Each structure stands twice: as C-alpha cells, then as structure tokens.
C-alpha cells in the first residue's frame, strides 16, 4: 500500500509549508499531497483553507490578496515557534522541491468553494513546464475541474475526491471522466470501495493517522493512504509486510 504525506509531513511540521515538504522529500514514501488556491493577482499558492486565518498570523481570503501581501504573513508560528516566519509557498516552489526526487505529487485543486477562473490551465501548464506529467495526479472535490484537466492534458492522471459512498462509482468516474477515486476514510471501509478496486481503479484514502486504520485498509487492498504522519505509518506498515 502506497503512502502519501498529507499536506507534506503535516503532523510534525506546519501543513503545506516548505518545511513540511522538505521533510516529506527526505522520506521513502510514494508521494506527497498538497492543496492549491489562487491569489488576487493570479498566482498559485499552496494552502488548504480559502482563508489564511487558521494557518497564519493574518486573516482574510487568499483570493482577496496578492502574492506579495500573502508573503508578509507567518505560516509557521501557529504550529510551533520553531517554524516562525514560514512563508506561504507557491506551487512552483513545491514542484521545485520534488523535481529531482522520486515522489509522486497529488495536486489538489481547491476550486470547490471559489471557482478561480483559469486555475486549472495554470496548474496543468506548471506541471508540463517541469516535465512532471508522469508523477502527478490532479484531484479535486470540484469534478468540473477534473474534467477540464482531462480536456487539456489527457495523459495526466486525475482523481475525484469524495466524502461519501457512491451508488455506481465506476459509471460516475467514467462520466467525469476521472482515473482514480480519493475517498474519505469512513467511506473507504464500505463494500463499494472493494468493488472499485476489483475493477482495477486506484482508491486512495484520506486521512489515515492511526495504525489500526492503516492495517484495516491494507487488508482491504486499498491502493494508497494519505497520512499526516508518513514516517510513523511507514514504519508500522513495514512490520506488516
Ligand atoms: O486530497 C486528500 C485530502 O487532502 C482531501 O481533503 O480537506 O484534507 O484537502 P482535505
Ligand atoms: Mg487536500
């Protein structure tokens, strides 16, 4: 079962920061997941929430600030004073960290609340410029964004994010179209997930921080998990193989 560092190594470092990504890049995990929003001046930045309040010393929406304005805030101190002054990363800075590693990159397009006009095009272009197509999967709760990715770059792997079970998951995935299913943990242990796996569709599950859940998903045959504690979960799973 593959392991992805969720928002970087976000259990031990402030989520979606350069520190969290450098830590993930040091580990022999399969990949890393991170979230992308767009600034007022059209720059792609890596942050989970629409607002900066929870993970910085500022407040307001990413969409209402320029990159220069966002760079004035501290995205590390909320987690620990050891990370004081961490800037918000751009997508390009995160791609740069992994350009020479083996890691797969799951770019989550956070356009499900605000549509961010032109964001998908920019993400696809940034990936192509770095020759990272073969190591990238683009996911979103905004399934229209996933459809757009396939129109622009059919060779890119895409994944539809879901919080719940689906009545006919394969038909739905094909209708988007999307290549893989990224599922919320409680939905992943239901029988329908097994049916998707039987059809050779990849199922990756978020967010798996407890060893007992990782073990249960390993038993089901889940393709990959996203975890905030990749080093710990990797060590645990190595004892199971
Ligand atoms: O991409 C998997 C997972 O990150 C989706 O949920 O809210 O953590 O971005 P969220
Ligand atoms: Mg995410």
Give the number of the ligand closest to the Cα of residue 141.
1
Give the number of the ligand closest to the Cα of residue 106.
1
Architecture, CATH, for domain 2-238: Alpha-Beta Barrel (3.20)
* pLDDT at residue 215, as a whole number: 96
Peptide bond into 2 cis (omega under 30): no
C-beta separation of 158 from 150 below 8 A = yes
CA of 144 from ligand 2 middle (Å) equals 17
Nearest atom in ligand 1 to the alpha carbon of residue 226 is 2
* pLDDT at residue 11, as a whole number: 98
Q: Nearest CA to 189 among 225, 161, 140, 138?
A: 225
* pLDDT at residue 145, as a whole number: 98
Best residue among 203, 226, 227, 230 to mutate for probing ligand 1's pocket (most ligand atoms within 8 Å of CB) is 226
Question: Where do the structural domains in the chain lie, given as residue ranges?
Answer: 2-238
Nearest atom in ligand 1 to the alpha carbon of residue 7 is 4
Q: For residue range 95-144, list pLDDT tens digits in order.
A: 999 999 999 999 999 999 999 999 999 999 999 999 999 999 999 999 99
Mean pLDDT rounded to a whole number for the chain: 97
State how far the Cα of 1 lies from the Cα of 156, in Å rounded to an integer.
Answer: 22
Q: For residue range 195-211, list pLDDT tens digits in order.
A: 899 899 999 999 999 99
Give the number of the ligand closest to the Cα of residue 163.
1
* pLDDT at residue 128, as a whole number: 98
- pTM for this one? 0.98
* pLDDT at residue 194, as a whole number: 86
State how far the Cα of 1 lies from the Cα of 220, in Å rounded to an integer.
Answer: 10
Cβ of 206 less than 6 Å from ligand 1: yes
- CA nearest ligand 1 atom 1, residue: 108
- CA nearest ligand 1 atom 2, residue: 206
* pLDDT at residue 77, as a whole number: 98
**CA separation (Å) from 127 to 17, 142, 156, 221?**
19, 19, 9, 30
* pLDDT at residue 16, as a whole number: 98
* pLDDT at residue 193, as a whole number: 86
State how far the Cα of 126 lies from the Cα of 209, in Å rounded to an integer.
Answer: 31
CA of 239 from ligand 2 middle (Å) equals 28
* pLDDT at residue 192, as a whole number: 87
Residue found under tokens 């940034």: 126
Catalytic sites, residue numbers:
6, 48
Give the chain's residues under pLDDT 50: none
């Amino acid at each position: 079962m593959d392991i992805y560092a969720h928002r970087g190594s976000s259990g031990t470092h402030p989520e979606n920061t350069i520190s969290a990504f450098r830590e993930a890049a040091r580990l022999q995990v399969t990949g890393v997941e991170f979230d992308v929003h767009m600034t007022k001046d059209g720059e792609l930045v890596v942050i989970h929430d629409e607002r900066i309040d929870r993970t910085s010393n500022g407040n307001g929406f990413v969409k209402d600030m320029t990159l220069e304005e966002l760079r004035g805030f501290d995205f590390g101190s909320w987690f620990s004073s050891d990370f004081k002054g961490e800037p918000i990363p751009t997508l390009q800075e995160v791609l740069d960290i992994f350009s020479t590693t083996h890691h797969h990159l799951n770019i989550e397009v956070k356009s499900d609340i605000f549509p961010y006009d032109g964001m998908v095009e920019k993400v696809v272009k940034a990936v192509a410029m770095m020759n990272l197509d073969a190591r990238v999967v683009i996911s979103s709760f905004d399934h229209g964004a996933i459809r757009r990715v396939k129109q622009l770059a059919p060779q890119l792997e895409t994944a539809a994010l879901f919080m719940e079970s689906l009545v006919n998951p394969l038909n739905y995935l094909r209708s988007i179209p999307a290549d893989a299913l990224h599922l919320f943990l409680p939905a992943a242990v239901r029988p329908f997930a097994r049916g998707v796996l039987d059809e050779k569709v990849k199922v990756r599950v978020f967010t798996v921080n407890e060893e007992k859940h990782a073990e249960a998903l390993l038993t089901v045959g889940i393709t990959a998990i996203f975890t905030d504690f990749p080093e710990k979960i990797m060590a645990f799973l190595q004892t199971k193989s």
